[in-house]
Structure 1
């Protein structure tokens, strides 16, 4: 499977899961910045950031970098020979550049398979939410002319179960680590802190705050992704052993005992310069038990990084959003019209 995986989200993770289900080992190729820019537009995230995101997904076994956006026969032959690949996988939506099917060569070789696209989520939709930071993606649709729309993703217990595959309870001898947060628009900074924190113990539980809690503490129109979307994003990370859904903001003594937490972590980053744990009452019981620690995030990437890049190139991304939105609308209209008439 290959792609740009720019602004990687749980829809991409689900594609990896589906792709891997067709075999036993999933190799994911990541298009280079240059090839994406040439065929589409400059990506929001660079090669290293996109690689970190793909490598962090628990459904991915191996990553290949600097893959060309359009496959030719030489490249296809190299992939099959070098990585012993049986099939090249892509979603069921068309991928056309300059009137040419990107996967034409793979299809001609009989080595192409499709997987259903994860409906209700796309990079286009998330980009639209960021462009105006509208709250409408948490409310019922009604306002006209808004870029960000209500989340159309349908979270089922089956999908949560599939993303929770191989989640096991910690054994008595395991050191359980707990860290909580919003985890909005899961990004390389999140991956970096989760990897660092996981190294402090054997079992990592990640608390994910509810939408109202995030909005109260972060303000603006955050979170960009609703609770269910954020849960799937975190569950897809290979450094996470389990998640606490709609986690309480204050970590109680009972919660520490119930989950057998050995250490409570607060991850800090550059934008937390004014943060003082002494004034943060939600960690009071963890401090009293002597199990609270602050860990500096090794990455400087944060949600603000994404916002700044979008704002800096707002006109480019608005044009890109409108073009992709029209393309996606046409795809689903054709898909469901065909299925209803067949």
Structure 2
């Protein structure tokens, strides 16, 4: 995977989460594809980290991203995405999951706070039920308007096609 000590297997992540919780730390969990990291991601992750003492990220594997987003995704492989995310100061631990949702991972880790973007209704958030039944909280955070990986990809495609069209007219 990567050389970062923040990137762990789900089993290692469970040990670390339990140790943090045993020492009284509040564990915040969020997840996503994080294909092309942008300002919206950074603001979201920074706000999520402020909700507790440590921030754990569940990162969709490449296979999971392909099933969710289509055959042209991810743009960046899981190793690169993990490297970039784990380099962020606000991220304390990162683990990959191969399923379509992190429900099983969340049910195992049982964070104190589960966080997603405000575009998710709490009842639709994978793992919410397990966290709530365990006495935790499920929260949504506002998203930075106009920032999305899909939007960035669309803009690149649009600019690329404009460039290709223009290069034929000299």
Matched, 1:218 2:69: yes
Greater CA radius of gyration, 1 or 2? 1
Q: Distance between the aligned counterparts of 1:300 and 1:196, measured in 2?
A: 18
The offset of 1:297, in angstroms, is 1.9
Q: Deviation per CA, 1:175-213, whole angstroms, max 9, x where unpaired?
A: 110001111112221111101101111100111011222
**1:312 counterpart residue number:** 158
Pairs within 5 Å for 1:113-132: none
Q: Contact 1:177–1:201 (CA<8 Å) still a contact in 2?
A: yes
Q: Secondary structure in 1 aligned to 2:103?
A: coil
Q: Distance in 1 between matches of 2:88 and 2:36?
A: 13
TM-score, normalised relative to structure 2? 0.73
For the 8 Å contact 1:176–1:201, the answer to whether it is kept is yes
**Which runs of 5 or more structure 1 residues have no equivalent in the other structure?**
1-154, 320-342
CA distance in 2, matches of 1:196, 1:265: 10
Provide closer, same or farther for how the CA distance between residues 312 and 239 of structure 1 changes in structure 2, counting only shifts above 3 A.
same
Q: Match for residue 262 of structure 1?
A: 112
Q: Please give the secondary structure, in 2, of the residue aligned with 1:239.
A: coil
Asked if structure 1 preserves the Cα contact closer than 8 Å seen for 2:122 and 2:139, the reply is no
Contact 2:29-2:113 within 8 A present in 1 as well: yes
Matched, 1:302 2:155: no
Residues 1:276 and 1:220: Cα distance change in structure 2 (over 3 Å)? farther
Tell whether the 8 Å contact from 2:107 to 2:131 is kept in structure 1 after alignment.
no
Residues of 1 paired with 2:154 and 2:69: CA distance? 16
Taking a change above 3 Å as real, the CA distance of residues 247 and 235 of structure 1, as seen in their structure-2 partners, is farther
Query: Which has the higher relative contact order, 1 or 2, with Cα contacts under 8 A spaced 6 or more apart?
Result: 2
How many residues matched? Answer: 150
2:51 to 172, 189, 200: 200
C-alpha distance 299-232 of structure 1, shift in aligned 2 (>3 A): farther
Mapped to 2, the partners of 1:264 and 1:194 lie a distance apart of: 12
Q: Which residue matches 1:164? A: 5
Q: What are structure 2's unaligned runs of at least 5 residues?
A: 9-15, 166-170
* Distance in 1 (alpha carbons) for counterparts of 2:39 and 2:70: 22
Q: Within 5 Å, give how 1:125-164 maps onto structure 2.
A: 160-161=2-3, 163-164=4-5
**Per-residue deviation at 1:256?**
2.9
